[in-house]
Amino acid sequence: MGAAKAAGAGAAARAGETGGAGGVDADRIHPLQRALAATAALLSLVAVALSRDFGLVPFFLAWSVPFVGVLLVRRRPAFRTYCLALGLPVLLLALPLALVGFLMLLPSAVLLLLARSADPRRDPDRARFHATLGVIVVVLFLARIASGG
């Protein structure tokens, strides 16, 4: 009886270490989510650099600072809220503000929305799908920049 109880406690400890339900890491942001958010921040800074030719650096810098700010968030619930609160408005404003080049921030917004739910501890298939979509978004954005458009 004592050995079975100890084995059960060991399994519970391992579940906690790997981010199982109620585990130690259950409230932490997964590295995949953080990587998608960091890529979103990097792409927003690329948009700032590209806006230099049009004199819109202050406008894009004001929108890029919050994208970088997401990297300072430490807990998953706050991270998910931050990603939604920043990604959704940028996504919705991209088309109306396209004349001032706001579409350049669209990939960053999409990456933040993907990062919000790309936690393989909760749903590995969804996380893999969101990571794949994130790679596609980055490749398309970089291809668009490389083509001179």
pLDDT digits (tens, 9 = 90+) for 57-70: 888 899 899 999 99
Residue 126 pLDDT exceeds 90:
yes
List Cβ<8 Å contacts ≥24 apart for 42-51.
43/107, 43/108, 43/111, 43/138, 43/141, 44/68, 44/105, 44/108, 46/104, 46/141, 46/145, 47/101, 47/104, 47/105, 47/108, 50/101, 50/104, 50/145, 51/101, 51/104
- Amino acid 55: pLDDT: 83
Q: What is the C-alpha separation between 80 and 117, in angstroms, rounded? A: 7
Cβ neighbours of residue 38 closer than 8 Å, sequence gap 6 or more = 71
Locate the domains of the chain by residue range.
29-146
Residue 7 pLDDT exceeds 70:
no
Lowest mean pLDDT of 3-12, 91-100, 116-125, name the range.
Answer: 3-12
- Amino acid 88: pLDDT: 93
Q: What is the C-alpha separation between 36 and 128, in angstroms, rounded? A: 12
pLDDT tens figures, 18-76: 444 445 467 899 999 999 999 999 999 998 988 888 888 888 899 899 999 999 999 99
Lowest mean pLDDT of 14-18, 90-94, 107-111, 136-140, name the range.
Answer: 14-18
- Amino acid 23: pLDDT: 53
